[in-house]
Amino acid sequence: MKQLVVALYRKIPLSLRWQMVVWYTTAFTVLLVLTGAVFYQYLEHSLEASVDTDLQLRAQQIAAGAVISHGAVSLHNVTGDLPGFGTQPSSPPVQSVDVNAGTLVRLLDARGQLIAQTPAFQKLSVPAESIAQPLTGTPWQGTIKTPHHEEVRIDSRALRVTGKTVAIIQVGESLENLHDLLHKLVAALLVVGFLVLICCAAVSYWLAGYSFAPIQRLAETARKIKAGDLKSRVPVPPMRDDVQYLALTLNEMLESLEQSFTRQRRFVADASHELRTPVAVIRNTAGVALLDPPQIDETVTALREIRAETERLTLLLTDLLTLARGDEGQTRFEQETVQFDQLVETVAATLDQLAAERDIRLEVQIPHEVTLRGDEARLIQVVMNLLDNAIRYTNPGGLVQVSVEQTAAEACLTVRDTGIGIAPEHLPHIFERFYRADPLRRETGGSSSGLGLAIVDWIVRAHGGSIEVSSQVGQGTCFTVHLPLVLPL
């Protein structure tokens, strides 16, 4: 059924308005037909029941006029509507009398032999059962057909005197009038039903148009919003209804699209800017080295500078690629068992030398073993970046503490330093790409790219964890990473 509807929609493309009209009208037609059928059945049944009651009454009236003398039964015409009653079967049948107009009465004796009948009854061939059944004491009621296919209802019952059956009285009535009435009724119902359906279609067309007008307006406004003009919003209607919900949803979608477009544009602009600086340095240094006459010392210095810049460029490109792949959802995270305590200790040991060079004390506090599921290489990146920052942004003589703890469902990594700290206005932005709190670094780039924390944040979120930072300028900074023990990837 569903496939049929879909196939029909494909063949005959209809606007939503016309679809509503078709659906409403179809539903109403089914409802009307069902109601009409039930009504017709009920009426037919009631009318037939009333014919049966009439016949029963007539039979009783006729029975009241029965006279029994010397065992013979005869009828007095009590109701006065038995013209020609008494006509014997031997008499020629009265062709002029119609079963629809004439009275249908027949009297039989206790053996089922005809005593008398009205002329119209002669045309009927009544089944033997209509005589046999009343003789057993049960009245018989049934519908029989005349040779002209007219239907006649018959009531046949026994006339009893002191418990003994003395005769059988059969009365009948044509059902033609009743059928005529029912046919006229069906015709009237069809005409009225058709008019009602036309009205229904017209009203549903108007109603659908009225209901969809706000959506139409919404669609037109949305269409006017040109590609790239993501600042525009569709008007939100004041009524709290589906259309308002649609408008709000559209605006939310535009908002998030605008944000992601802006992020993307800024990322590209920042990336180009970041790449331009080392390339410019390489070009200038190479230019100096190529000056005439070539000086061997200057050339070697220039080549060293070029190598340093190239290494920085390589790191920057690696970070950019990591984030770009992460944005596209291309990065596959391993699900391996990671000995997190050992991982942190190893990374700290790697950076111990760097800390010592800068006269910074690096303390590691890991009271217990901590095992979790995750991507070991990525988690090393997290610890490495946080420790690198802590060492980089702490003045000589400072202290960097790293600790790992385990609660019921998560591992908690804390990296605390006594460094320069981060001003409150910078704190909400430090996880953004290319963001550097130090204005000087922001201008020159220095040796940092401003991508470290963005990568940390991305990896932690991909592991289903979270990262928090608290800092005070001149006092130090504390990063806390919460990682679930089981990876929800």
Q: Which of 122, 133, 156, 389 binds Mg ion (CB under 5 A)?
A: 389
**Segment lying near ligand ATP (by CB under 6 A), choices 5-13, 17-25, 35-43, 447-455:** 447-455
Q: Which of 118, 133, 204, 477 binds ligand ATP (CB under 6 A)?
A: 477
Provide the mask over 76-95, with x wherever binding to ligand ATP is found by CB under 6 A and - wherever it is not. --------------------
**Segment lying near ligand ATP (by CB under 6 A), choices 35-43, 65-73, 325-333, 452-460:** 452-460
Q: Which of 436, 460, 483, 487 binds ligand ATP (CB under 6 A)?
A: 436
Distance CA(488)–CA(167), nearest Å, equals 95
Contacts for 217 with CB less than 8 Å, ≥ 6 apart:
none
Query: In the bound complex, what is the minimum distance in angstroms from residue 400's beta carbon to ligand ATP?
Result: 9
CA 307 remoteness from chain centre: 59
- HSE-up of residue 99 (Cα within 13 Å, Cβ side): 22
Taking CB positions, which residue lies at the least distance from ligand ATP?
Answer: 452
Nearest Cα neighbor of 481 from 469, 470, 467 is 467
Query: In the bound complex, what is the minimum distance in angstroms from residue 351's beta carbon to Mg ion?
Result: 12
The answer to whether the beta carbons of residues 456 and 380 sit under 8 Å apart is no
Provide the mask over 380-419, with x wherever binding to ligand ATP is found by CB under 6 A and - wherever it is not. -----x---xx--x-----------------------x-x
Q: Which of 452, 456, 463, 481 binds Mg ion (CB under 5 A)?
A: 452
**Segment lying near ligand ATP (by CB under 6 A), choices 278-286, 404-412, 434-442, 481-489:** 434-442
Of 112 and 397, CB closest to ligand ATP: 397
Judged by CB under 6 A, does residue 140 bind ligand ATP?
A: no
Of 138 and 444, CB closest to Mg ion: 444
In the numeric block, the tokens 């279609």 are attached to 201
Q: How many residues does the chain have?
A: 489
Of 160 and 442, CB closest to ligand ATP: 442
Q: Please report which helix (H) or strand (E) contains residue 56, including its range.
A: helix 16-64
Of 174 and 389, CB closest to Mg ion: 389
Query: In the bound complex, what is the minimum distance in angstroms from residue 438's beta carbon to ligand ATP?
Result: 5
- Strand-pairing partners, residue 413, are 404, 481
Distance CA(461)–CA(481), nearest Å, equals 10
Contacts for 419 with CB less than 8 Å, ≥ 6 apart:
390, 393, 394, 395, 398, 400, 476, 477
Of 62 and 454, CB closest to ligand ATP: 454
- HSE-up of residue 438 (Cα within 13 Å, Cβ side): 14
Judged by CB under 6 A, does residue 422 bind ligand ATP?
A: yes
Of 436 and 463, CB closest to ligand ATP: 436
Query: In the bound complex, what is the minimum distance in angstroms from residue 406's beta carbon to ligand ATP?
Result: 24
DSSP code for 349: H
Q: Which does 87 bind (CB under 5 to 8 A by kind): ligand ATP, Mg ion, none?
A: none
Task: Output phi, psi for 90, to 5 deg.
Answer: -70, -25
Q: Which of 119, 278, 398, 452 binds ligand ATP (CB under 6 A)?
A: 452
Q: Which of 348, 366, 372, 453 binds ligand ATP (CB under 6 A)?
A: 453
- Token output for 317: 């490109």
Nearest Cα neighbor of 414 from 360, 357, 363 is 363
The answer to whether the beta carbons of residues 85 and 114 sit under 8 Å apart is no
- HSE-up of residue 379 (Cα within 13 Å, Cβ side): 32
The answer to whether the beta carbons of residues 424 and 388 sit under 8 Å apart is no
Q: Give me the residues that bind ligand ATP (CB under 6 A), please.
A: 385, 389-390, 393, 417, 419-422, 430, 435-438, 441, 448-454, 477
